[in-house]
Amino acid sequence: MESALTARDRVGVQDFVLLENYNSEVAFIDNLRRRFRENLIYTYIGSVLVSVNPYKDLEIYSKAQMERYRGVSFYEISPHIYALSDNTYRAMRTERKDQCILISGESGAGKTEASKKILLYYTVTCPTGDHMAALGERLLQSNPVLEAFGNAKTLRNDNSSRFGKYMDVQFDFKGVPVGGHILNYLLEKSRVVHQNHGERNFHIFYQLLEGGDDDLLKSLELERNPQNYNYLVKGNCPRISSINDKNSWKTVMNALLVIGFVEEENLMNIIGGILHLGNTQFGEGEEGETYVTNEDQILTLEKLFGVNSSALTEAVTHKKLTAKGEEMISPLNFEQTLSARDALAKSVYRRTFNWLVEKINQSLAQKDEIHHSRKDFSVIGVLDIYGFEVLQHNSFEQFCINYCNEKLQQLFIELTLQYEQEEYETEGIAWETVQYFDNKIICELIEEKHKGIISIMNEECLRPGETCDASFLEKMEDSIGGHPHFVTHKLANGKTRRVMSREEFRLLHYAGEVSYNVNGETILKQNEGLWHKFAGASKSHCFRRKEVNDQKRSETASTQFKNSLMKLMEILMSKEPSYVRCIKPNDSKQPGKFDEVLVRHQVKYLGLMENLRVRRAGFAYRRRFEAFLQRYKPLCPETWPNWNGCLSDGVSTLVEHLGYTPEEYKLGRSKIFIRFPKTLFTTEDALEAKKPEIALILQKSWRGYTERSKYQLIVIQSAWRGMKGRRRAKRRRQAADLIRRLIKGFIYRHEEYGPENDYYLHHIRYSFLKNVRQNLPKNVLDKSWPTPPALLAEASDQLQRLNMQNMVNKYCNRVQPEWKKQMMQKVVASEIFKDQKDSYPLTVGRLFLDTRLVQRNAFPCASQYGVPVVKYDRRGFKPHTRQLLLTNTFAVIVDRNKIKQRIDYAALRGISVSSLSDGMFVLHMPTSDNKQKGDAVLHSFHVIEVVTKISMMACKINYVNVCPGSIRFSVARGKEGIIDFVRGSELKVAKGKRGHLLVVSVFEPNSRKSLAILVR
Ligand SMILES: Nc1ncnc2c1ncn2[C@@H]1O[C@H](COP(=O)(O)OP(=O)(O)O)[C@@H](O)[C@H]1O
Ligand SMILES: [Mg+2]
């Protein structure tokens, strides 16, 4: 992928290790400058990233750029902070080892920017978990807040970090960021009360005055003009063009919200309070005591700090002394009061800053309990610490800063050498030591127990009674006077002595000589007591931290700092380090300007040349076998296109073919080490030369491959098409055949069954039978039936008959005995009366009953049927109401309980009814029988039912006569009577002409009237 580098990326060497003349500082700086000119601000020394501040926005930090660097190996692409970030991340994931990225360089060299780029890279490119989105935002937003409170404009940097910051980002096993934690180091709190000319206080003061709304300022009793505040005027530079305080204010307020600050926390009260504290005026009393002249100011402070005004006044005008084990409060003079006031302001600010970091840490802390309980996450720590600093007047704070840089340099030396050495060891390569300056001696000078500068400083601070800077200096001269890196005015030679004051000591740091002023070092001590008093009295959240109640003798600031540094070193040592070495190209913050002297100085003290030498002492270049083989295999016929044997053999074969001499390279266990860059360059050139050839081969084989693929595609396509076509043709043929057979069959349909028409006839038969099956009659009354084709007429009839028979059988089987009886009677009635008697059709739908009598068993004999009748006298045709009862063998006419006449069925001669719709019927008896009273002339409304039943019971169905016109009947002793039947308009039974009985029926078929009569 090195081929991905553009010509521009290839300016100079992108890794100093490849510099031919690696001992030459000139060549080194020339390479830096050539790349800087092309805006190539990043260059490696092996795995160390050197970065030169461009002082202008480069288009190299976009999301697309991040994607370019994701998962790509270090050397395959142009150097970048993202490459380092990505490599660190991958090392953490694959090796499951905590990592740290140490960013160093002097103020304004771009450390903070680098750390922000790293953080941004992780928040954008890492996989996201459930709460990652919010966490990423909080991680990013912690920066503007910390910068507002911890950064300031200095001469070197408009946004100089005035505190050291170590930030851990915690990742779970899937590589998802799950939490973060910040450690802060030694805030430069002297800035709160004093700024050098051209410098400013911490940004937040100006942001508040510029951006805070009127209501807020009013409640804090502040005015917009920074010139009104003593703590903001010292540098005489309240506004500068590169800083927009108003916008920053908005950003900070928003960031505070994201992090989860709430208004009650009154952060701004403290910032406002500090400004007011700076404006507190003091007067001197007659006895030298000090008092506050503007009491209003104290009342405002009481409100803003939430502290009792008298406690506050006492805190700044008195001091605590311990003499002979007793604590005493004694007044301070005017000068001392001003110092105490400033010390208080610094203390308040420092603690507020610490509290702020604590709040941010709470917000970044992992919310997930699982991660708390088990250490199943890895971290990447990013250290952005203040760079080595030499000012005109260097105080205690510069001492701490530079001490910190000494320590980091130590760590850098130890770890890089150690790593290098370890690598040779693990790879089994002989290693020769390289000379380099080890700054351990300076670190010891500062921190050694009992003898070191910090120890002496502590002793002096903790000594009871008045402290004295002069005695501190003397003590140092006594103890460490002979040390090659320590000089005082007294110890110095003539030349140095001329530039040193008597209140200074000079340290020869690895990065240069610095003179420190001892003035005021020890004032730190006494203010702690007053601080406790102040904080104890305050209601503000920010001061209520654990340390407030910590009444035990507080450690001196230097010890605290030393201890925190030790802890930091421990943290860093436990991790796999990566380095970013930042270089500042000029002092005027100008883009494109490369100040060679300045750069040379930095290259020197950052130890970059040594770093390079160490790296080169052994071998300039190393790469894992597989990577080396993969890249250069086209250069050897045995390894091209693929090497199938063991990797080291492949590499051996390859380098032998390339003609490497034994001193040029060594094979380790997993890596090849190449001693001279030239060897590598020759190999690279060979590869470049070979590329067109490879490209041609690749092109050819690619074309062959694509053509082959295309051809295969065509073969498959045509086979498929052929198959589909054949199937379609077959279907078409079958269809045509069928149609032909049907047409032929139709033509020959009337012929004998044979090959011409068999298919057609079979089809017709099949269709008809299917049709019949689907349309069978639903019941016996349903006479529908599909029309059969001629040739199936007979079969159809048979089928219809069979079907009907079947339905009838089924129907009959379902009929109940009573219903059967009814049916039989109805059948008999039909046989007798159908088409004979007018009233018959109307009775068909009405059921025959077992009796028509209301009192069923009125008559004792076993009657089967009873019906009320009217009996007409044979002579006078007088009507009498009677009942007719039928038994199994005879019928009787009864008048209530009295039998009037018995008619034996055996003797019954016949039964006559009229053909009209009347109810008359005559039971003919034998005339010869004297016992009989002659024929019975009766009338019933149920004549059809009665007659049917009698005829059936007497088994004399054929004896029923339906007589049109008239009925003759016998009266006793051979005489005859006649009943005439006519149709008329009114029902009437009366004696008519010639002694006949005349019966008038009103029946008109279907008339309502006749029906009404019938059913009465
Ligand atoms: N990579 C970069 N690209 C563009 N400008 C940069 C870059 N690094 C630093 N700068 C500029 O330099 C200034 C100082 O950088 P900063 O990181 O604050 O320095 P340091 O933290 O080392 O003191 C920044 O405010 C910015 O203007
Ligand atoms: Mg910084």
SS (H, E, C) 214-263: HHHHHHCCCCCCHHHCHHHHCCCCCCCCCCCHHHHHHHHHHHHHHHCCCH
pLDDT confidence tier of residue 864, bands split at 50, 70 and 90? confident
Q: Residue 1015's pLDDT is what?
A: 42
Q: Quick one: pLDDT at residue 432?
A: 67
210 Cβ closer than 6 Å to some ligand 1 atom: no
Q: Give pLDDT, residue 550.
A: 44
Q: Tell me the CA–centroid distance for residue 154 and ligand 2, in Å.
A: 11
User: What are the pLDDT digits (tens) for 549-558?
Assistant: 444 455 677 7
Q: Are 877 and 891 in contact (CB under 8 A)?
A: no
Bond into 662 cis (ω within 30): no
Q: Which atom of ligand 1 is nearest to the CA of 115?
A: 17
CA distances from 632 to 626, 681, 682, 685 (A): 10, 12, 12, 11
The predicted-structure confidence for 102-138, as pLDDT tens digits, reads as follows 998 888 899 999 999 999 999 999 888 765 567 888 9
For this structure, is 504 an active site residue?
no
Mean pLDDT for the stretch of residues 590-600: 94
Residue 776: alpha-carbon gap to chain centroid: 65
**Closest ligand by atom to 108 CA:** 1
Q: Which of 318-327, 465-474, 873-882 has the highest mean pLDDT?
A: 873-882
Whether 53 lines ligand 1, by a CB cut-off of 6 Å, is yes
Q: Supply φ then ψ for residue 672, to 5 degrees.
A: -100, 135
Neighbours of 12 (CB within 10 A): 21
- Ligand 1: distance of its center to the CA of 37 in Å? 17
The Cα–Cα gap between 513 and 509 comes to 6
* 863 Ramachandran zone, left/alpha/beta (phi>0; psi -120 to 50): beta
Tell me if residue 112 is catalytic: yes
Residue nearest ligand 1's atom 25 by CA = 159
Binding residues for ATP: 105-112
Q: For residue range 766-787, list pLDDT tens digits in order.
A: 999 999 998 888 888 888 899 8
CA distance 282 to 292: 4
Q: Which of 113, 147, 389, 504 is catalytic?
A: 389
Task: Report residue 211's pLDDT band, with 50, 70 and 90 as the boundaries.
Answer: very high
Active-site hit among 43, 143, 160, 269: 160
What DSSP element (H or E) covers 1000? strand 997-1001
Distance set, CA 444 to CA 439, 440, 448, 479, 765 (Å): 9, 6, 5, 13, 118
Q: What are the pLDDT digits (tens) for 159-181? A: 999 999 999 999 988 888 889 99
State the closest ligand 1 atom to the C-alpha of 109, by its place in the atom list counted from 1. Answer: 22
The confidence score (pLDDT) of residue 277 equals: 92
- pLDDT value at position 303? 87
Which ligand has the minimum distance to the alpha carbon of residue 156? 1
- 107 included as an active-site residue: yes
Q: How far is CA 161 from CA 108, 185, 201, 207, 888, in A?
A: 9, 11, 12, 16, 134
Let me know if 775 is a catalytic residue: no
Find the distance separating the first CA and the last CA of the chain, reported in whole Å: 118
Residue 162 CA: which ligand is closest? 2
Give pLDDT tens digits for 57-106. 999 999 999 999 998 777 678 899 999 999 899 889 877 889 999 998 88
Span from the CA of 36 to the centroid of ligand 1 (angstroms)? 15
Model pLDDT for residues 719-754, shown as the tens digit of each residue: 888 889 999 999 999 999 888 888 888 888 888 888
Using the atom order of ligand 1, give the atom closest to the CA of residue 41: 1
Q: Who contacts 366 (Cβ-Cβ below 8 Å, separation ≥6)?
A: 170, 178, 179, 372, 377
Residue 519 sits at the vertex; the CA angle it makes with 518 and 522, to the nearest 5 degrees, is 85
Q: How far is the CA of 238 from the centre of ligand 2 (A)?
A: 20
Counting runs of H as helices and runs of E as strands, what totals does the chain give?
32, 31
Residue 179 and residue 14: Cα distance in Å, rounded? 35
Ligand 1 in reach of 515 Cβ (< 6 A): no
Q: Kindly state the tokens that stand for 721.
A: 């098409």
Beta-bridge partner residues of 480:
none
Q: Is the CB of 582 under 6 A from ligand 1?
A: yes
DSSP 594-638: --HHHHHHHHHHTTHHHHHHHHHHH-SEEEEHHHHHHHHGGGSTT
Contact 112 CB / ligand 1 (< 6 Å): yes
Q: Which of 43, 78, 87, 112 is catalytic?
A: 112
- Residue of 52, 53, 200, 383 to test ligand 1 pocket, by largest number of atoms within 8 Å of CB: 53
Place of tokens 């050498």: 417
HEC string for 101-152: EEEECCCCCCHHHHHHHHHHHHHHHCCCCCCHHHHHHHHHHHHHHHHHHHEE
Residue 125 annotated to the active site:
no
- Alpha-carbon distance values, 142 to 158, 212, 252 (Å): 19, 20, 9
For 81, 460, 869, 902, 908, the CA distances from 892, given in Å and listed in that order, are 133, 157, 11, 4, 12
Pick from 841, 819, 820, 862: which is nearest to 944 by CA? 841
Q: Is 161 in the pocket of ligand 1 (CB under 6 A)?
A: yes
Q: Does 161 qualify as catalytic in the annotation? A: yes
Query: For residue 142, what are the contacts with CB-CB under 8 A and spacing of at least 6?
Result: 167, 180, 182, 255, 259, 360, 363, 364
Q: Does ligand 1 come within 6 angstroms of the Cβ of 110?
A: yes
pLDDT for 521 beyond 80: no
pLDDT tens profile 902-952: 888 988 889 999 999 889 999 998 877 666 678 899 999 999 999 999 999
Active site residue 588: no
With CA atoms as reference, report the closest residue to 208 among 224, 193, 228.
224
Nearest ligand by distance to the CA of 107 = 1
Q: Record the tokens describing residue 202, joined without a space.
A: 């911490």
Using pLDDT thresholds of 50, 70 and 90, give the confidence band for residue 1013: very low
Both tokens assigned to 950? 């009698």
The mean-pLDDT minimum among 4-18, 534-548, 794-808 falls in 534-548
Task: Output the residue whose Cα is nearest ligand 1's atom 8.
Answer: 110
Q: How confident is the model at residue 1012 (pLDDT cuts 50, 70, 90)?
A: very low
What is the CA(249)–ligand 1 centre distance, in A?
Answer: 20
* Cα gap 887→898, rounded to integer Å: 16
Q: Which atom of ligand 1 is nearest to the CA of 158?
A: 25
CA of 452 to the centre of ligand 2 (A): 29
Is position 830 annotated as part of the catalytic site?
no
> For residue 928, what is the DSSP state?
S
Helix or strand or coil: residue 421? helix
- The minimum-distance atom of ligand 1 relative to the CA of 157 is 14
pLDDT for 599: 95
Pocket test for ligand 1, best of 118, 157, 386 (most atoms within 8 A of CB): 157
DSSP secondary structure, 724-740, as one string: HHHHHHHHHHHHHHHHH
Its pTM stands at: 0.64
Q: Which of 31, 157, 402, 515 is catalytic?
A: 157
157 lines ligand 1 (CB under 6 A): yes
Average pLDDT over residues 319-339: 78
Structure-token pair, residue 635: 């250069």
Task: Kindly give the distance from the C-alpha atom of residue 208 to the centroid of ligand 1, in angstroms, as a whole number.
Answer: 24
Task: Return the ligand 1 atom nearest residue 105 CA.
Answer: 22
Å from CA of 144 to ligand 2 middle: 12
The response to whether residue 104 sits with its C-beta less than 6 Å from ligand 1 reads no
Instruction: Pull the structure tokens for residue 679.
Output: 């060897």
CA of 596 to the centre of ligand 2 (A): 22
101-139 burial: b if 16+ Cβ within 10 Å, else e: bbbbbbbbbbbbbbbbbbbbbbbebbeebebbeebbebb
Token pair 């952060």 is found at: 267
Rounded to the nearest whole angstrom, what is the distance from the C-alpha of residue 509 to the centroid of ligand 2?
21
pLDDT digits (tens, 9 = 90+) for 660-682: 998 889 898 899 988 776 788 78
Best mutation site among 159, 166, 248, 589 for ligand 1 pocket (most ligand atoms within 8 Å of CB): 159
CA distance 987 to 989: 7
Among 198-207, 340-349, 454-463, the range of highest mean pLDDT:
198-207
Question: Is 398 close to ligand 1, i.e. is its CB under 6 Å away?
Answer: no
